[in-house]
Amino acid sequence: MAAASASSTFLSSPTLNNSSSPSSLSWKKLPLSSSFSVTVSLPRRRRRCSPVFVVVSMDSKPTILVTEKLGEAGLNLLKDVANVDCSYNLSPEELCTKISLCDALIVRSATKVNRDVFEASAGRLKVVGRAGVGIDNVDLAAATEHGCLVVNAPTANTVAAAEHGIALLTAMARKIAHADASVKAGKWQRNKYVGVSLVGKTLAVMGFGKVGSEVARRAKGLGMHVIAHDPYAPADRARAIGVELVSFDEALATADFISLHMPLTSATSKILNDETFAKMKKGVRIVNVARGGVIDEEALVKALNAGIVAQAALDVFTVEPPSNDNKLVLHEQVTVTPHLGASTMEAQEGVAIEIAEAVVGALNGELAATAVNAPMVPAEVLNEMKPFVVLAEKLGRLAVQLVAGGSGVKSVKVTYASARAPDDLDTRLLRAMITKGLIEPISSVFINLVNADFTAKQRGLRIAEERIMLDGSLESPLVFVQVQIANVESKFASAISESGEIKVEGCVKDGIPHLTKVGSFEVDVSLEGSIILCSQVDQPGMIGMVGSILGEENVNVSFMSVGRIAPRKQAVMAIGVDEQPCKEALKRIGEVPAIEEFVFLKL
């Protein structure tokens, strides 16, 4: 901040007529150009903190809809904090009807959470929990647009899926399912069910992520030569378990067995098709425990019939459940299971707990570590940033309320001042909260970290960010945050800075956000409750006069501060109030002859 250059002047002692007496009275000269401030702090009544995902009011229990079977331990966690509605096998219409009464939805792979669901929720649905890995059944774009956080449970079923992959691999190679059915049908066909050996064969793992690498590890234990294709996997991780990463074409051309473990995305959809089957070794065997959609099922039928693919083992299908006449299900060389990869007792308990904790955390306003459509902010960063998150939202709220009706807010500049290196500051959280503060008071849109950037862009709101480095303590992530709105008029002219923008600035003191600047005036008022800003010619008795009016109207004052250009010149008085003053009180303040303009700002 700029260095002080003003002479020492103290304001006259304020006379207050208020229901609470001051707990501390501090006279302060602020080191800013030619501006002074006096601060009267009153006892803090309450601390309000705005979580990143404000979901449900504390007075009511949230309602969580669970549409597919979830492990008991997870359900119990949910029941501790919410009304839990377990409704399985809902039709799409039934889901849309129910969802408008729900704050969170927990699904597995069978429930299609499409745009209709988010639209039907009319903004109430705040979290979708996917009790598993694949989120291809959730419309992430629609979720983001509706400010709905999507979380998944990415780790608890990894081993189950890998074990199922190995089970299918071995069962397919030794024709276990068919042989079993044959014996049960009273036959004893030992020559018909001769299998193939795995040892020494090449297995191509397509998608070397959590499941793929566990499959690779196990296949090596079976004596297989394992290669993998994954454009994004680090080679050293593969090397560490003795797996060579190869190109897609090389994997196809050299594999005796191919096991699929990539997510279903637009890039992987039908990645095995006529063209790619043609590149495979004749007699290749395919396992799919990933998603049905990564295989062109028609093409696989053709490849099986042509003998390019000798056998396939499929846990997943493009449409689930597959139709009764699905050619793959009925094919003699195909072994099938009904999407059982994650279905072990252990995995389901683990997944249920993982997703319940993520959903409950998100409902409590915490950022989830398994957020799929929001940046993940490490817990320690979040902890440190919490008061600044509140500050950011409140500065946004204040700034937008200072804009005169009719001026469209399009251009906002945010300045973050910190003693730390600019790279140390991840501003996504703060930017989202400033956006929330700027947009929520003037619209019915609910904004959080998920949809902040999307909503700002949609409304043509441009937020430019600047980081400035100051000398100071490295202990706090920020010294101050400043929000400026350009090209608008203000309903409180004193909020316009010398350069013509509405300007508000704040910092955090003892964990509490404070407003420290309005336009060119230095003030100091804690951002709790609401604020009245008055502009007047500096003179004795002003604080007392306004304080008296508020006291008479039973409005509790929490903070008062005056910033002025110079003694007896233009001044801005900021008054923190716990209650909203009635119209009469505001009218009386406006009638104080020395007050030139005033504005009531709701935080």
Ligand X SMILES: O=C(O)C(=O)COP(=O)(O)O
Ligand Y SMILES: NC(=O)C1=CN([C@@H]2O[C@H](COP(=O)(O)OP(=O)(O)OC[C@H]3O[C@@H](n4cnc5c(N)ncnc54)[C@H](O)[C@@H]3O)[C@@H](O)[C@H]2O)C=CC1
Contact call for residues 269 and 262 (beta carbons, < 8 A) = no
Q: Which of 147/154 has CB closer to ligand Y?
A: 154
The sign of the CA dihedral 526, 532, 533, 536 is negative
Tokens matching residue 343: 């279905």
Task: Pick the binder of ligand Y from 89, 184, 200, 232 (CB under 6 A).
Answer: 232
Cβ at position 152, least distance to ligand X in Å: 8
Q: Which of 259/530 has CB closer to ligand X?
A: 259
Contact call for residues 53 and 149 (beta carbons, < 8 A) = yes
Concerning whether 420 is annotated as a catalytic residue, the answer is no
List the end-to-end C-alpha distance of the chain, in Å, as a whole number.
Answer: 26
Contact call for residues 535 and 566 (beta carbons, < 8 A) = no
Q: Which residue stretch of 90-98, 130-138, 410-418, 537-545 sits at the interface with ligand X (rule: CB under 6 A)?
A: 130-138
Q: Which residue stretch of 108-116, 435-443, 562-570, 573-581 sits at the interface with ligand X (rule: CB under 6 A)?
A: 108-116
Q: Is 515 in the site for ligand X (CB under 6 A)?
A: no
Question: What single-letter DSSP state applies at residue 425?
Answer: -
Tokens matching residue 333: 């060389």
Q: Is 77 in the site for ligand Y (CB under 6 A)?
A: no
Cα–Cα nearest to 53, from 305, 420, 393: 393
Cβ at position 489, least distance to ligand X in Å: 53
- The residue length of the chain stands at 603
Contact call for residues 212 and 196 (beta carbons, < 8 A) = no
Q: Is 556 in the site for ligand X (CB under 6 A)?
A: no
Cβ at position 100, least distance to ligand Y in Å: 29
Concerning whether 178 is annotated as a catalytic residue, the answer is no
* Residue 412, phi then psi, degrees to nearest 5: -125, 135
Answer with the entry of ligand Y, ligand X, none that 108 interacts with (C-beta below 5 to 8 A by kind). ligand X
The interface mask with ligand Y, positions 159-198, x = CB under 6 A, is --x-------------------------------------
Task: Pick the binder of ligand X from 132, 350, 506, 513 (CB under 6 A).
Answer: 132
Concerning whether 320 is annotated as a catalytic residue, the answer is yes
Give one word for 232, left, alpha or beta, with left for phi > 0 and alpha for psi -120 to 50.
alpha
Answer with the entry of ligand X, ligand Y, none that 3 interacts with (C-beta below 5 to 8 A by kind). none
Q: Which residue stretch of 180-188, 285-293, 444-452, 508-516 sits at the interface with ligand Y (rule: CB under 6 A)?
A: 285-293
Helix, strand, or coil here: 245? strand
Estimate the crossing angle of helix 158-173 against helix 176-184, to 10 degrees. 70
* Complete edge-to-edge strand list for the sheet that includes strand 530-537: 24-32, 35-41, 557-564, 570-577, 530-537, 595-601
Contacting ligand Y within 195-214 (CB under 6 A): 206-212
Q: What share of the chain is helix, strand, coil (3-state, %, to 5)?
A: 30, 25, 45
Number of residues that bind ligand Y (CB under 6 A): 32
Cβ at position 428, least distance to ligand Y in Å: 22
What residue ranges bind ligand X (CB under 6 A)?
A: 108-110, 131-134, 157, 339, 341-343
Residues with a catalytic annotation lie at 291, 320, 339
What residue ranges bind ligand Y (CB under 6 A)?
A: 133-134, 154, 157-158, 161, 206-212, 229-233, 261-264, 267-268, 289-291, 315-316, 339, 341-342
